[in-house]
Homo-oligomer: A and B are copies of this chain.
Amino acid sequence: MTTVFDPEGDVLSGDTADVYFARTQLIMRNEDLNPVVTMEVFATGSGVLCGMTEVLALLARVLAEEGEVWALDEGGEMSAKEVVLRITAPYRSFVIYETAILGILAQQSGWATAAWACVEAAQGIPIISFGARHVHPRVAGRLEYAAMVGGFVGCATPAGARMGGVTPSGTIPHALILIMGDTVEAIKAFDRHVSGEVNRIALVDTFKDEAEESLRVAETLGEKLWGVRLDTPAERGRVTPDLVKEVRARLDQAGHERVRIVVSGGIDAERIGLFVERGAPVDAFGVGSAVSSAPPIDFTADIKAIEGKPVAKRGRIPGITSNPRLRKVDLSEARS
């Protein structure tokens, strides 16, 4: 994954960093100061750690040979206040990257943790990330990557799919159906022109009743139909567990037991729990804003030692914090 997470120019230049770090670097240079410091990074809340791979790629690029780094693994669970990263190196070599390191971890761990809550609730039903439309395209891929670090099995954008090592998932947008004028025509066109490797999944709430439309596409596409997607809008009461049960029953009664049901539209961990509790036969969920609206998990970086001597600002305990879960990182690997 080295290439995927290669640091970009504006990160390396400090353009996206809080400016006081650049000023600190300047002052230290002018004062001829460059002590070896130990900096520790911890999260204020617990969750799933995400972004460490990218952080290590950055450190591999900027840290001098003698720098030493200890870290938790990408995708691992972390406790509140647990140290997840410890850097010991001449401070001028990494002072301007604190903002980036914290930001990479904060936002993606927030997303991964929210995704993991959905995965827990789904009790084995697979979930696909549909959240790109809620975040800036510059981080749409990272959002979907984080969702997969948190346990989702797929995502909708090529950018995210590449980072997660999967193929992007997609059904048919309402737009195509509106343009074709009929759901059955749209799925037939899809079937004509899209590679056979892509699953045929019909969106069935555009024009007609979902159950009626499900039967129509199942009759038309026969064996080739992989599944239907229910995405009833809030204005129509959203997808309910009973709707899934009814569509399942009507499909089964017509002999379409093999057609799967995908559910989307305002799905979060709580609503997933409701579908599971009521025994709604969902084959996959599509989840967007439950992940994209997760707040970042605040990470903090503290200098805990200077030239081996314990220090700390008021409110923190001087010296290295013991954490046997930390693993020493071979940066040369990351560099290669």
Residue ranges of A at the interface with B (Cβ–Cβ < 8 Å): 8, 10-11, 14-24, 26-28, 30-31, 33, 35, 37, 51, 91, 95, 98-100, 102-104, 106-108, 130, 132-142, 156-159, 161, 168-180, 189-190, 192-194, 198, 205-209, 211-212, 232-238, 240, 242-243, 245-246, 249-250, 253, 289, 292-296, 298-299, 303, 306, 310-319
A189 touches which one: B10, B27, B303, B313 (CB < 8 A)? B27
List chain B residues, Cβ under 8 A from A51.
136
With A26-B194, A106-B133, A139-B139 in contact, is A253–B318 under 8 Å at CB?
A: yes
A157–B314 touching, CB < 8 Å = no
Q: Can you identify 27 A-B contacts, CB atoms within 8 angstroms?
A: A16-B141, A16-B158, A16-B159, A18-B173, A30-B192, A33-B179, A95-B175, A99-B140, A102-B134, A103-B135, A106-B292, A107-B134, A134-B298, A135-B296, A175-B303, A178-B306, A178-B311, A178-B312, A178-B313, A209-B212, A232-B315, A235-B316, A236-B242, A246-B317, A250-B318, A253-B319, A295-B295
List chain B residues, Cβ under 8 A from A238.
237
**Nearest CB in chain B to that of A297: its residue:** B134
A157–B16 touching, CB < 8 Å = yes
Give A170 to B26 CA distance when docked, in angstroms: 13
List chain B residues, Cβ under 8 A from A139.
135-136, 138-139
List chain B residues, Cβ under 8 A from A140.
16, 99-100, 103
With A179-B28, A240-B236 in contact, is A15–B318 under 8 Å at CB?
A: no
Give A190 to B246 CA distance when docked, in angstroms: 29
A205–B313 touching, CB < 8 Å = yes
List chain B residues, Cβ under 8 A from A176.
20, 24, 27-28
List chain B residues, Cβ under 8 A from A37.
175, 179
Report the minimum CB–CB distance from A80 to chain B (whole Å): 11
Report the minimum CB–CB distance from A164 to chain B (whole Å): 13
A157 touches which one: B18, B30, B141, B193 (CB < 8 A)? B18
B14–A193 touching, CB < 8 Å = no
With A18-B156, A27-B194, A319-B253 in contact, is A174–B99 under 8 Å at CB?
A: no
Report the minimum CB–CB distance from A291 to chain B (whole Å): 11
B170–A18 touching, CB < 8 Å = yes
